[in-house]
Structure 1
Amino acid sequence: VEPLLRDRGPKLAFYEDTIIIKGIPESSLAPFIDQVMKKVIKVYIKSHPKGAEGYKPVIELHITSSGKSLEEARKYVEEAKKKIINLVKDKAEILEG
């Protein structure tokens, strides 16, 4: 069944990148994530809290998009990544990104 669906469905490329942010709680990061997803409508950002309580919070962000080509999907992810970094760079440490 899957091969039939692939042949008949739309041809989409997916791209994902990750940012690790340290020093800002997930609850404080959430409004920035919402803001970026509203501006770059073709991306989805999922946050994954890491680390233990009592320490500086570490949040892993997965930024995902799809497009007609890999380049298109990558463009949306890179745009969202730049926006989220610019919004939090004065409030947190960007470990990867």
Structure 2
Amino acid sequence: MIAELARYLGALLVLAGALFSLIAAIGVLRLPDLYTRLHAASKAGAIGAGLILLAVAVVSFDGAVVPRALLGIVFLLLSTPVAAHLLARAAYRCGEAPTATTTVDDLK
């Protein structure tokens, strides 16, 4: 009974994670400049991957897999925003201009 419930919950989490990952991929393809693409990839991509890792933790009944999956989620939540910030900062310093619709440039 509990194993079947865990499978359904895991499938729901995988679907939600795949949906967030799809939204991140569409954002990377459709958004106008590097900065907004980084925003889409770092936010929705990290949530999608985190939900998929959470599904692995729920479905797996192995005591060694659950802490690793949770540690992976923590690592994603800590490292993805830092990496996106560093990439955006490096792009700005190299002269990558934001799109013409950008109205506020605090670094100028």
Instruction: State which structure, 1 or 2, has the greater radius of gyration over its C-alpha atoms.
Output: 2
The TM-score by the shorter chain falls in which range? 0.3 to 0.5
Higher strand share: 1
Q: Which has the higher contact order (CA 8 A, sep 6+)?
A: 1
The TM-score with structure 2 as length reference comes to 0.32
Task: Provide the TM-score with structure 1 as the length reference.
Answer: 0.35
Which structure shows the bigger proportion of residues in helix conformation? 2
